[in-house]
């Protein structure tokens, strides 16, 4: 009797490596904000209303619905949100350069507690946004108050971190202009000396992720290439040349945990 | 290779080195389990003990690590609501095509947990070693569990 086998990874099977297909795991675990969803401007209003001593601010429908303000002003929950956004904290800012959609995740870490403001996840978008959809994506955020040890998983879900077989691609050094052109335009051809693995990666849907932190400085520049996994992009000593290589999701995860731990110490 | 100085415990044909301040515990349904000291998670005194446990089962003659790994991923997704599978790879044992490592996270109540599972198919036996601990403890415990797994399933034969 022949062994029951799982579906194989289509690309690796095509080059003679029959390993299980793990590319569909990402789609099974979409990012979900569990908190209220608000226009960014409403959060600014909430913060101003919390600070105000004399002037009274009128709550917006979204702030009322979220229970962050009532007729009297900010509620207890609203004051908690405003405080977490104002008090100095370790900060992580993630931004996706997917097309023209300015998708962001901002996390303010206060010791064992954190507040996260997230737009739509770049991993959740099938197509690049335009017009009103783009405006809504950029200006509406989910608000989540979580344990700081839950922040790495929150970020992992937002960036669509998921298993992928690490592909050794060549060349490792690619012109910065070529990488950035590919980020903006999927029809950008791969480097002329690209091997089969890099050509496969080039054909996948891409989005770019950057993570910056404050007050300590740490930066991360990653291309999510869908089923082909994550690729770290680093500057080299050569002007205008990037290193582009597979970044195993377990290493991305450890980097997130380490970075959030640093932010918790602020 | 230098023999480890820590004590060892054996169950189901698998030997685990017991890290300092860890001890063997009785975990029903497993052949062997060890747990570390309680980690205080919150000001209210909630604690969680990091642990590793071993499950050993006979494998069907046609068993294939690729199917066992795929089944482990599917099983992880139903451990709890909101499981996020983070990583999956061939595990770097000497015979790595027969080993897989799966990493996932989920929230148990208010506690974000991290799970690493090593699955090895060898001599018609499937051995699953699982480490579970709070994400808040990850930087302290991660490498220790990797070392215990390497010593149990890696350089030396599991049975």
Token pair listed for A91: 């900060």
Q: Which residue has the tokens 């983070």?
A: B86
Which burial class, exposed, middle or buried, applies to A2 when counting CB atoms under 10 A from its CB (0-12, 13-18, 19+)?
exposed
Any CB–CB contact under 8 A between A33 and chain B?
Answer: no
Angle of the B138-153 helix axis to the A249-264 helix axis, nearest 10 = 150
Phi and psi, residue A112, nearest 5°: -90, 0
Q: Name the residue among B83, B88, B136 with its Cβ closest to that of A22.
A: B88
Per-residue DSSP letter, A8: B
- Point out which residues pair with A246 in neighbouring strands: A231
Kindly compute the dihedral angle of the four CA atoms of residues A106, A110, A111, A117, in this order, to the nearest 10 degrees. -30
Q: Name the residue among A148, A150, A166 with its Cβ closest to that of B107.
A: A150
- Note whether B22 and B38 are within 8 A (CB): no
Q: What is the arrangement of strands in the sheet containing B51-58, beginning at the earlier edge strand?
A: B23-24, B32-35, B51-58, B125-134, B111-122, B99-108, B84-90
On chain A, the residues whose CB falls within 8 A of the CB of B142 are 254
Q: What is the ipTM of this complex?
A: 0.92
Any CB–CB contact under 8 A between A16 and chain B?
Answer: no
With CA atoms as reference, the chain B residue closest to A112 would be B42
| Sign of the four-CA dihedral A169, A200, A157, B48 | negative
66-125 in chain B: CB under 8 A from chain A: 66-67, 69-70, 73, 77, 82-90, 103, 105, 107, 110-112
**CA A257 to centroid of chain Cα atoms:** 14
Rounded to whole angstroms, the Cα distance separating B140 from A86 reads 31
Cβ–Cβ gap B86/A161 under 8 Å:
yes
Rounded to whole angstroms, the Cα distance separating B17 from B8 reads 4
Rounded to whole angstroms, the Cα distance separating B69 from B80 reads 19
Distance from CA of B22 to the nearest CA of A (A): 23
Rounded to whole angstroms, the Cα distance separating A182 from A67 reads 43
Rounded to whole angstroms, the Cα distance separating A234 from A223 reads 11
Per-residue pLDDT 10s for chain A (266 aa) are 566 799 999 999 999 999 999 999 999 999 999 999 999 999 999 999 999 877 888 999 999 999 999 999 999 999 999 999 988 789 999 999 665 668 999 999 998 899 999 999 988 876 667 777 777 777 899 999 999 999 999 999 999 999 999 999 999 999 999 999 999 899 999 999 999 999 999 999 999 999 998 887 878 899 999 999 999 999 999 999 999 999 999 999 999 999 999 888 76
Geometric angle at alpha carbon B33, from B27 and B38, rounded to 5°: 85
3-state secondary structure of A144: strand
On chain B, the residues whose CB falls within 8 A of the CB of A248 are 87, 89
Consecutive H or E run containing A51: helix A40-51
pTM of the entire predicted model: 0.93
Token pair listed for B31: 């052949």
Q: Name the residue among B62, B67, B103 with its Cβ closest to that of A253.
A: B103
Rounded to whole angstroms, the Cα distance separating B133 from B77 reads 17
Any CB–CB contact under 8 A between B136 and chain A?
Answer: yes
CB within 8 Å of A58: residues ≥ 6 apart: none
Per-residue pLDDT 10s for chain B (159 aa) are 555 578 999 999 999 999 999 999 999 999 999 999 999 877 678 899 999 999 999 999 889 999 999 999 999 999 999 999 999 999 866 555 689 999 999 999 889 999 999 999 988 899 999 999 999 999 999 999 999 999 998 754 443
- Alpha carbons within 13 angstroms on the beta-carbon side of residue B48 total 22
Consecutive H or E run containing A210: strand A207-214
């Amino acid at each position: 009797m022949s062994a029951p086998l799982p579906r194989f990874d289509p690309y690796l099977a095509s080059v003679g490596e029959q390993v299980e297909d793990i590319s569909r795991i990402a789609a099974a675990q979409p990012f979900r904000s569990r908190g209220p969803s608000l226009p960014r401007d409403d959060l600014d209003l909430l913060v101003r209303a919390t600070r105000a001593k004399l002037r009274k601010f009128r709550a917006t429908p979204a702030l009322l619905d979220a229970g962050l303000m009532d007729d009297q002003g900010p509620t207890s929950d609203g004051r908690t949100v405003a405080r977490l956004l104002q008090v100095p904290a370790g900060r992580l800012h993630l931004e996706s350069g997917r097309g023209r959609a300015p998708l962001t995740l901002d996390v303010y870490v206060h010791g064992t507690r954190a507040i996260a403001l997230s737009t739509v996840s770049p991993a959740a978008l099938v197509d690049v946004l335009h017009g009103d959809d783009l405006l809504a994506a950029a200006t509406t955020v989910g608000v989540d108050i979580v344990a700081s040890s839950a922040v790495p998983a929150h970020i992992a879900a937002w960036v669509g971190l998921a298993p992928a077989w690490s592909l050794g691609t060549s060349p490792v050094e690619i012109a910065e202009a070529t990488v950035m052109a590919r980020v903006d335009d999927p029809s950008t051809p791969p480097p002329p000396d690209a091997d089969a693995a890099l050509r496969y990666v080039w054909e996948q849907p891409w989005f770019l992720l950057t993570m910056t932190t404050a007050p300590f400085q740490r930066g991360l520049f990653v291309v999510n290439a869908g089923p082909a996994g994550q690729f770290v992009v680093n500057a080299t000593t050569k002007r205008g040349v990037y290193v582009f290589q597979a970044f195993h999701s377990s290493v991305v995860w450890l980097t997130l945990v380490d970075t959030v731990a640093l932010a918790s110490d602020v | 290779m230098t023999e480890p100085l820590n004590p060892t415990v054996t169950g189901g044909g698998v030997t685990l080195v017991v890290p300092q301040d860890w001890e063997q515990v009785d975990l029903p349904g497993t052949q062997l389990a060890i747990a570390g000291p309680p980690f205080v998670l919150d000001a209210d005194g909630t604690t969680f003990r990091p642990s590793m446990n071993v499950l050993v089962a006979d494998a069907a003659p046609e068993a294939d690590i690729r199917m066992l790994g795929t089944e482990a991923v599917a099983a992880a997704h139903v451990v709890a609501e909101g499981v996020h599978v983070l990583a999956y790879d061939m595990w770097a044992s000497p015979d790595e095509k027969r080993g897989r490592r799966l990493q996932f996270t989920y929230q148990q109540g208010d506690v974000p947990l991290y799970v690493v599972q090593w699955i090895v198919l060898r001599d018609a036996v499937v051995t699953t070693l699982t480490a579970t601990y709070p994400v808040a403890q990850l930087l302290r415990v991660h490498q220790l569990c990797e070392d215990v797994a390497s010593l149990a399933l890696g350089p030396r034969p599991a049975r």
